[in-house]
């Protein structure tokens, strides 16, 4: 579904006009559509209907409590990578037994807390982590459910920074060593082997890499079965891409259909960890043009959002669509849309043909995933507000940071 559309010359989020939101909450502000988030989640859940499954939203993509709560109300699970994300999910009403805990660097504290609340599964990424988890679980007198995150060595064909399933990546356990590590896991008293996990990368726009990885995981579960290790679930991670420009990623329903056909009647439950495909196109970053600056070489639109608010263009050379909230007549120019930060890399978009005047509002599209969550306070800029739109209502689900908050934890040296 399209969460954002034009009516009467203005861009709307569901039933709310964006200029009204800018007036009420200021800019820069992230604006999310509840209906879009729900529809994207349901595309996964509906396609998995009739078989045991968990759709675990990858909290790293958007960890706002309001957003997590929308998903928790639908019965979503969550994929977390830190104690902080765990506490967010619980605060948002998520159920602990629907949480999978991923990440290469889990601390003892992380493990303790996750065991206390009773997560569904730990996705373990190394033998040392396995031994540590055994120790912590033994101290607490608990049994930790584990999957090993295997690295199936498939090329996801995506940006190198967000590709994770190749042998040279830091993630997971080489699939060729996985049987030996599973054998060790099965020996450990306080662990219970429940699954096999992988995540091969993000923003994948075709199915073959996912299906190659799946085939390798299925072959592994069969080899494990001959050793008496029964796998109950396969976790295929996240990674389904979205359209930023002209990509044509597969639909979640088609992806899941293809997976279901391949696992047939093996009795395996399926777990997915989608992040981007649930929230990316549910959000825009609303920003206002502060200045137009015309030089001999370039035309710049200096806006009030910057790389600290949205780092994807600077970090991954990501192309994000930028559209006028109230398009108007006038001469167009090819603008670089840049922020106020003192770095040449501080841009949101380059070479965009727009007719602009000072004070115009712009929407940076597809910003619901890896937008706010990657923001920082660089240049002592408070982080943006976040607003969740539900029909014709808008809720401020995170207020803008004040300047005082930014240095509240700091102190002067004693005199
Ligand atoms: N599961 C694991 C173990 C992951 O590492 C990730 C993402 C996901 C699930 C969710 O993947 P998704 O469905 O969102 O593709 N900041 C980058 C993306 C980094 C992705 C990291 N891992 C960006 O802005 O493109």
pLDDT digits (tens, 9 = 90+) for 69-128: 999 999 999 999 999 999 999 999 999 999 999 999 999 999 999 999 999 999 999 999
274 is in an annotated binding site: yes
Domain of 61 in residue numbering reads as 34-277
Domain boundary among 277, 301, 334: 277
* pLDDT band, very low/low/confident/very high, at 29 (cuts 50, 70, 90): very high
Question: What pLDDT score does 161 carry?
Answer: 56
pLDDT tens column, 134-166: 999 999 999 999 999 999 988 777 665 556 656
pLDDT tens column, 347-403: 999 999 999 999 999 999 999 999 999 999 999 999 999 999 999 999 999 999 999
CA angle 238, 242, 246 (to 5 degrees): 150
Rounded CA separation 181/146 (Å): 12
Q: Which residues form the pocket of ligand 1, taking CB atoms under 6 Å from any ligand atom?
A: 58, 61, 79, 102, 162, 199, 202-203, 237-240, 273-277, 312, 316, 370
The reply to whether 68 and 13 lie within a common domain is no
Question: What pLDDT score does 155 carry?
Answer: 77
Question: What pLDDT score does 329 carry?
Answer: 96
| Three-class DSSP category at 311 | coil
Residue 6 makes CB contacts below 8 A (sequence gap 6+) with: 12, 327
Say if residues 357 and 292 touch (Cβ distance below 8 Å). Answer: yes
Question: What pLDDT score does 218 carry?
Answer: 97
In the chain, the number of structural domains is 2
Instruction: Show the DSSP H helices in 77-204 as ranges.
Output: 83-91, 108-117, 127-140, 178-187
Question: What pLDDT score does 159 carry?
Answer: 60
Give the residue whose CA is nearest to atom 23 of ligand 1.
370
The reply to whether 360 and 377 lie within a common domain is yes
Domain boundary among 262, 277, 292: 277
The reply to whether 204 and 338 lie within a common domain is no
Confidence (pTM): 0.97
Point out the ligand 1 atom lying closest to the alpha carbon of residue 278. 13
pLDDT at 184 over 70: yes
DSSP annotation of 162 = G
Instruction: Show the DSSP H helices in 12-126 as ranges.
Output: 18-25, 34-47, 65-73, 83-91, 108-117
The reply to whether 139 and 165 lie within a common domain is yes
Residue 229 makes CB contacts below 8 A (sequence gap 6+) with: 182, 183, 186, 193
Q: Could you tell me what percent of the chain has a pLDDT over 90?
A: 94
Question: What pLDDT score does 168 carry?
Answer: 63
Q: How far is the CA of 332 from the centre of ligand 1 (A)?
A: 36
């Amino acid at each position: 579904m399209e969460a954002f559309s034009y009516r009467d010359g203005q861009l709307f989020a569901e039933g709310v006009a964006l200029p009204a939101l800018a007036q009420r909450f200021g800019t820069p502000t992230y604006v999310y559509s509840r209906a879009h988030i729900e529809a994207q989640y349901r595309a996964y859940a509906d396609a998995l209907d009739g078989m045991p499954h968990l759709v675990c939203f990858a909290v790293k993509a958007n960890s706002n409590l309001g957003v997590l709560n929308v998903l928790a109300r639908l019965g979503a699970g969550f994929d977390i990578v830190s104690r902080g994300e765990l506490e967010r999910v619980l605060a948002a009403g998520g159920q602990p037994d629907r949480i999978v805990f991923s990440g290469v660097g889990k601390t003892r504290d992380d493990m303790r807390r996750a065991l206390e609340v009773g997560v569904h599964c730990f996705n373990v990424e190394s033998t040392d982590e396995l031994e540590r988890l055994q120790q912590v679980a033994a101290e607490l007198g608990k049994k930790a459910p584990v999957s090993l995150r295997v690295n199936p060595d498939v090329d996801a064909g995506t940006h190198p920074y967000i590709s994770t399933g190749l042998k040279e990546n830091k993630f997971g356990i080489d699939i060729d060593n996985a049987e030996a590590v599973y054998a060790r896991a099965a020996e450990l008293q306080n662990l219970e082997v429940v699954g096999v996990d992988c995540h091969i990368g993000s923003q994948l726009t075709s199915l073959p890499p996912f299906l190659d990885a799946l085939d390798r995981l299925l072959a592994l579960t069969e080899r494990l079965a001959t050793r008496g290790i029964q796998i109950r679930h396969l976790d295929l991670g996240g990674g389904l891409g979205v359209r930023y420009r002209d990509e044509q990623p597969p639909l979640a329903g088609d992806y899941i259909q293809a997976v279901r056909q391949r696992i047939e009647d093996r009795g395996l439950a399926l777990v997915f960890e989608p992040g981007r495909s649930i929230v990316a196109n549910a959000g825009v970053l609303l920003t206002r043009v502060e200045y137009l600056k015309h030089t001999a070489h370039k035309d710049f639109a200096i806006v009030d959002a910057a790389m600290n608010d949205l780092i994807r263009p600077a970090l991954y050379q990501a192309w994000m669509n930028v559209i006028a909230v109230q398009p108007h007549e006038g001469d167009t120019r090819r603008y670089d849309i840049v922020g106020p930060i003192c770095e040449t890399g501080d841009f949101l978009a380059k070479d965009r043909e727009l007719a602009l005047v000072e004070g115009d509002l712009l929407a940076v599209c597809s910003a619901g995933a890896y937008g706010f969550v990657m923001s920082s306070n660089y240049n002592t800029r408070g982080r943006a507000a976040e607003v969740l739109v539900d029909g014709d209502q808008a809720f401020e689900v995170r207020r803008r940071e004040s300047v005082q908050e930014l240095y509240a934890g700091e102190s002067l040296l004693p005199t």
